[in-house]
Amino acid sequence: MVLTNGVAVGVFGPYGARLGTGSLVSEGTPLNPNWVVPYHAVQEQPIIWGTASNGRSLFWIDPLTNPTRVVRLRFTRASFPGDPYSKRQVFSNNGGTAATWEVRDCQLSGLYWDFYCYYDRATTASLVNNIFERGQIAISQDYSAVVKPFIAVDLYNNLFWKSQVEFYYDNPATVWTVKDNVFDTIIQPVPFSGVVNGHNGYINSPQMPGGSGDVVLTNFTYATGPLGNYYHYYYNDFVDAGSRTADQAGLYHHTTRTTQVPEAGSLVDIGAHYVATVNGEPSDDDGDGLADVLEDRNGDGLVDGAAGETPWSGYHSPTALTGTTGLTTYTPLK
């Protein structure tokens, strides 16, 4: 299943869109993200489709099927508003049955997201630069004396805002890395133990043990900008306080500030970022109509031809018919 071009998808019933042996790719754009919501959030309905149940999913991944499935989400928003007909609101149950989860530049609201290493299947979960608000995220790796594959986790530059965050890390078979995130007024029922962490921001939230370079605050003000409501206002506590540079984090073309100055190669700011804009549009340095962040797919500021990237900096004329590169030209503004 491929979702693109800012599509809005409304689902209903206990399973929503049910993923069996296939994979899911959802990618919108910074200005036109894809939306996935329960059908009643799209338009009020006079009837209820489906029956009430203990759980309702936007996406459900079936257990005991193809272990090579991949879920990739980018520039995607999912929201599950209050539902009087459901006791439990779930984005994806049995999440560990997909071999790969890659979630980047997304905003997920009011969701319960369960990542679980299930049925001896190796799973990787990479969550980079997302906003989780008023939800619950649980990542589980249960202990077993039997040597078997487990879930490997990377969490970088996410914002967890007024959410419940649970890490069940009971077996050091894989490494979990949690760095450069902001935990803002979170509920923490389970100790964060055994997880590689550091350079995280904590706003009225308990700290993970064993970390270094953390920033602990009791007050923080967000600002509204062209792409959302979680820009950093005038506080500088999280600026240049991350564990690596922004190009290494894949956030070369992103920013946390309403000034829209991109991170480029500076030390990365802690927390979630938005794509930097110019006059409300994502930066397009070469003026070819394709945003820099979409040309530089991995966000490192370089042109990686092997990865299919195209030059994003400075205008480049089309390739000549002979196969040689055309002249670089510039058109004066009128």
Q: Which pLDDT tens digit goes with each residue over 172-229?
A: 777 889 999 999 998 775 556 678 999 999 999 988 888 899 999 998 999 999 999 9
Higher pLDDT, 142 or 182: 182
Range with lowest mean pLDDT among 65-74, 237-246, 250-259? 65-74
Residue 138: both structure tokens together: 């649980």
Higher pLDDT, 301 or 324: 301
The predicted pLDDT at position 238 comes to 96
The structural domain count of the chain equals: 2
Cα(269)–Cα(226) distance, rounded to whole angstroms? 19
Query: Strand 196-198 and strand 176-179: pairing?
Result: parallel
SS3 percent helix, strand, coil of the chain, rounded to 5, is: 5, 35, 60
Range with lowest mean pLDDT among 9-13, 47-51, 151-155? 47-51
Strand partners, 157: none
The predicted pLDDT at position 87 comes to 41
Residue 224: both structure tokens together: 């509204």
The predicted pLDDT at position 96 comes to 42
Together in a domain, 65 and 107: yes
Together in a domain, 160 and 298: no
Together in a domain, 20 and 75: yes
Range with lowest mean pLDDT among 9-18, 135-144, 320-329? 320-329
Together in a domain, 103 and 202: yes
Together in a domain, 163 and 67: yes
Together in a domain, 287 and 299: yes
Cα(301)–Cα(28) distance, rounded to whole angstroms? 21
Together in a domain, 80 and 10: yes
Model confidence at 31, pLDDT cuts 50, 70, 90, reads very high
Residue 184: both structure tokens together: 């803002």
Cα(260)–Cα(128) distance, rounded to whole angstroms? 20
What residues have CB less than 8 Å from 12, skipping those under 6 apart? 38, 39, 40, 49, 50
- End residue of a domain, out of 185, 200, 219: 219
Model confidence at 135, pLDDT cuts 50, 70, 90, reads confident
pLDDT at 50 over 90: no
pLDDT at 30 over 50: yes
Higher pLDDT, 162 or 135: 162
Together in a domain, 211 and 288: no
Range of the domain at 306: 221-334
Range with lowest mean pLDDT among 26-30, 49-53, 102-106? 49-53
Together in a domain, 171 and 282: no
- End residue of a domain, out of 199, 219, 239: 219
E strands, 87-163, are: 89-92, 100-104, 107-109, 112-116, 123-128, 131-133, 136-141, 151-156, 159-161
Give the single-character DSSP code of 256: S
pLDDT average, residue stretch 300-324 = 67
Q: Which pLDDT tens digit goes with each residue over 110-127?
A: 888 877 665 556 678 899
- End residue of a domain, out of 204, 219, 234: 219
Nearest to 139 by CA among 163, 104, 162, 161: 163
pTM: 0.87
Together in a domain, 239 and 170: no
Give the single-character DSSP code of 40: H
In 10 A of CB 154, how many CB atoms? Answer: 16
Together in a domain, 76 and 207: yes
Amino acid at residue number 193: S
